[in-house]
């Protein structure tokens, strides 16, 4: 290539280099919204440098090659301009794939047509060199696509200026000098280019549009150096908001999402490109208190829970609506602050307080039982023994007290055993020793233990639990539970009544039933039992209870993974049910796998 520099080409080449320098400055120092302006200036530099080289060329072939290079910048200027304006005016939600395809298709098609023009002449119908001036100039005859692309170029420029004018009217004073600078920068080259297209050409075929960008560069330079243009570009949105630890969500007047920062994307696990334009219900479908507060258009705060692994996350959402002219609601900004640590600590403190309260209640119950139920029979025993020791009672009189002493000591023994089991369990001192055992054998041992007592009251005890009914639980706890339930059944049965122990086995759980034909339980006492209230009722022969039996049973059954419930009708008897896990055919033990221990 050969070039013959002149004043016009030299001015453009210098301006192009200055534009590249300014573009590099913007791309290096400023945020992504402003970097699109840097890319715009880079496209302008391609045009300016290419046209400067064209003006220094002397052959048609070289001029046509350089105009192809120029069009790489010329064709991309309108689309880069629009992306910059859309981002600068806060309309990012528009930048979806369909719009980007629509914006980029005409420029790319134009570049292809310019580079292949010699085969179809659709962009330029004719080209030649005009040597009538002080230096050779390219003389072109526009084709159909030239006018189509020019219309597209001006439509993009006009659309951008329109968006800027709208934002200029609503902008805070601190931002208005930015909008003025950008508008002036856009209008200068546009006006020069309009003159060129209207054939108002003081220098003939020389296009003054690239020279106009020298003025644009000058204006931008003043903006950067004097006004520090873009230092206060909605940096609150692009810099400060993006690095905030809190999630930021901006809604329009119709509760549609128009902006969310990176932290908000993390909180919601949704990308802004996907959710922008959707209503807040799409982002938080089940959080009705949040949606209701947003709909009220008032300042406020609400707590929400967002499911997450390994645990839920808790957020305090502060809502600040904003109004135009103080009366027209235009949207709201929502600030999401993670309070999971505080919430978890609060829940832990609450749980510890509840546990401490429960332990205090256990302590109070233990001391209450000791001071009343155990003190009275032991006091009676001590008094009788004192009288006997002081020979106030005769041997015959002492023997008459033996049935009473037997009853009191038996009651005290039962009470002490239940009390020790229950208090140990409640104070977290009980160790679970779950094994596979035969429920029929446990029931048989209990029936033998109660045989004398049942025979004395004329009660029949039947064990209908099938042999080899294997369950997986703590055998001692289940033995204690059955013993308490059978004791209770005997207590409320009369002569001629029957107590039946039965069980139904299923793959997962075995259901045990202790049924009696006794006096039954009044509904109000049923409620007390299921609510674990400690109380006692005298039996059919004035037997005294401990008040802890059913509480102990419920606690033991639930610790073994089962549940317990009661069915009873006054005068018809009662049925106590509880479930235990059915023993698997293979169980896992520390150190390996063992077969079902039928032979244990």
CATH number at residue 550: 3.30.565.10
Average pLDDT of the residues in 9-37: 74
End of a domain among 402, 430, 458? Answer: 430
Pair of tokens at residue 479? 């033995």
Residue 387 lies in a domain: yes
pLDDT higher than threshold 70 for residue 545: no
The count of structural domains within the chain is: 4
Residue 507 lies in a domain: yes
**Is residue 192 very low, low, confident or very high in pLDDT (cuts 50, 70, 90)?**
low
Residue 2 lies in a domain: no
> How does DSSP classify residue 57?
-
Lowest mean pLDDT among 25-39, 169-183, 277-291, 546-560: 169-183
Three-state secondary structure call for residue 240: helix
Mean pLDDT of the chain: 78
Q: Give residue-wise pLDDT tens across range 483-539.
A: 888 888 888 899 999 999 999 999 999 999 999 999 888 888 887 777 765 566 777
- Bridge-based pairing state of the strands 498-505 and 460-463: parallel
Q: Give residue-wise pLDDT tens across range 112-133.
A: 999 999 999 999 999 998 887 7
**Is residue 65 very low, low, confident or very high in pLDDT (cuts 50, 70, 90)?**
very high
21 and 55 share one domain:
yes
> Whole-angstrom Cα distance, residue 292 to residue 101?
38
509 and 556 share one domain:
yes
The DSSP result for 197-219, as a single string, is HTT--TTTT---HHHHHHHHHHH
Residue 85 lies in a domain: yes
* Three-point CA angle 110, 62, 211, nearest 5°: 65
Residues whose CB is less than 8 angstroms from the CB of residue 233 and which lie 6 or more positions away in sequence, other chains included: 30, 31, 33, 34, 88, 175, 178
192 and 258 share one domain:
no
What was the pLDDT predicted at 89? 74
Range with the largest mean pLDDT of 105-109, 239-243, 541-545: 105-109
End of a domain among 390, 411, 430? Answer: 430
> Whole-angstrom Cα distance, residue 473 to residue 464?
20
Count CB-CB contacts under 10 A for residue 462.
13
Residue 350 lies in a domain: yes
Residue 266 lies in a domain: yes
DSSP-based helix, strand, coil % in the chain, nearest 5: 55, 20, 25
76 and 175 share one domain:
yes
44 and 118 share one domain:
yes
pLDDT higher than threshold 60 for residue 373: no
* CATH number of the CATH domain containing 51: 1.20.1070.10
What was the pLDDT predicted at 254? 81
363 and 328 share one domain:
no
Which range marks the domain in which residue 31 is found? 7-234
82 and 218 share one domain:
yes
**Is residue 479 very low, low, confident or very high in pLDDT (cuts 50, 70, 90)?**
confident
Q: Is the peptide bond before 511 cis (omega within 30 degrees of 0)?
A: no
pTM here?
0.41
What was the pLDDT predicted at 424? 61
Residue 239 lies in a domain: no
421 and 541 share one domain:
no
End of a domain among 386, 403, 430? Answer: 430
Average pLDDT of the residues in 305-309: 79
328 and 372 share one domain:
no
What was the pLDDT predicted at 8? 79
- Bridge-based pairing state of the strands 498-505 and 509-516: antiparallel
Lowest mean pLDDT among 194-208, 402-416, 522-536: 194-208
């Amino acid at each position: 290539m050969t070039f013959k520099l002149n004043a016009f080409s030299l001015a453009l080449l210098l301006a192009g280099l200055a534009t590249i320098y300014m573009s590099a400055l913007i791309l290096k120092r400023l945020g992504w919204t402003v970097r699109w302006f840097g890319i715009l200036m880079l496209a302008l530099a391609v045009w300016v440098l290419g046209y400067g080289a064209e003006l220094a060329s002397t052959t048609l072939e070289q001029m046509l090659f350089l105009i192809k290079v120029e069009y790489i910048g010329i064709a991309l200027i309108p689309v880069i301009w629009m992306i910059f304006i859309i981002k600068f005016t806060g309309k990012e939600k528009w930048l979806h794939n369909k719009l980007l395809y629509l914006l980029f298709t005409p420029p790319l098609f134009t570049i292809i047509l310019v580079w292949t023009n010699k085969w179809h002449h659709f962009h330029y119908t004719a080209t030649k060199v005009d040597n009538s001036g002080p230096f050779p100039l390219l003389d072109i005859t526009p084709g159909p696509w030239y006018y189509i692309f020019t219309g597209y170029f001006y439509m993009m420029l006009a659309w951008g200026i329109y968006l800027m004018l709208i934002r200029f009217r609503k902008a805070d004073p601190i931002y208005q000098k930015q909008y003025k600078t950008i508008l002036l920068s856009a209008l200068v080259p546009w006006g020069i280019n309009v003159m060129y297209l209207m054939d108002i050409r003081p220098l003939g075929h020389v296009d003054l549009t690239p020279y106009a960008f020298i003025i644009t560069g000058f204006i931008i330079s003043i903006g950067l150096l004097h006004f520090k243009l873009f230092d206060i570009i909605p940096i609150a949105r692009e810099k400060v908001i993006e690095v905030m630890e809190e999630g930021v969500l901006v809604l329009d007047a119709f509760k549609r999402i128009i902006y969310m920062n990176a932290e908000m994307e993390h909180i919601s696990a949704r990308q802004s490109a996907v959710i922008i334009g959707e209503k807040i219900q799409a982002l938080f479908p089940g959080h009705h208190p949040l949606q209701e507060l947003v709909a009220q258009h008032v300042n406020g705060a609400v707590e929400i829970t967002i499911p997450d692994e390994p645990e839920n996350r808790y957020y305090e959402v502060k809502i600040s609506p904003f109004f135009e002219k103080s009366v027209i609601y235009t949207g709201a900004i929502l600030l999401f602050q993670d309070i999971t640590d505080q919430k978890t600590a609060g829940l832990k403190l609450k749980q510890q307080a509840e546990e401490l309260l429960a332990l205090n209640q256990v302590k109070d119950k233990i001391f209450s039982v000791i001071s009343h139920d155990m003190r009275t029979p032991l006091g009676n025993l001590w008094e009788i023994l004192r009288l006997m020791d002081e020979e106030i009672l005769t041997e015959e009189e002492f023997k008459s007290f033996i049935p009473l002493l037997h009853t009191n000591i038996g009651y005290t023994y039962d009470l002490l055993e239940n009390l020790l089991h229950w208090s140990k369990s409640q104070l977290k001192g009980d160790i679970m020793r779950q094994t596979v055992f035969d429920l029929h054998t446990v029931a048989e041992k209990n029936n033998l233990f109660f045989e004398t007592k049942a025979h004395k009251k004329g009660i029949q005890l039947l064990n209908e639990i099938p042999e080899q009914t294997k369950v997986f639980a703590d055998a001692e706890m289940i033995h204690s539970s059955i013993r308490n339930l059978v004791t209770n059944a005997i207590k409320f049965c009369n002569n001629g009544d029957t107590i039946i122990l039965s069980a139904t086995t299923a793959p997962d759980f075995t259901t045990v039933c202790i049924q009696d034909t006794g006096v039954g339980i009044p509904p109000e006492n049923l409620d007390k039992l299921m609510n674990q209230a400690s109380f006692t009722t005298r039996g059919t022969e004035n037997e005294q209870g401990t008040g802890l039996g059913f509480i102990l049973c419920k606690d033991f059954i639930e610790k073994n993974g089962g549940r317990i419930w009661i069915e009873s009708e006054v005068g018809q008897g009662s049925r106590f049910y509880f479930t235990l896990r059915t023993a698997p055919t293979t169980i896992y033990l520390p150190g390996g796998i063992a077969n079902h221990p039928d032979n244990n």
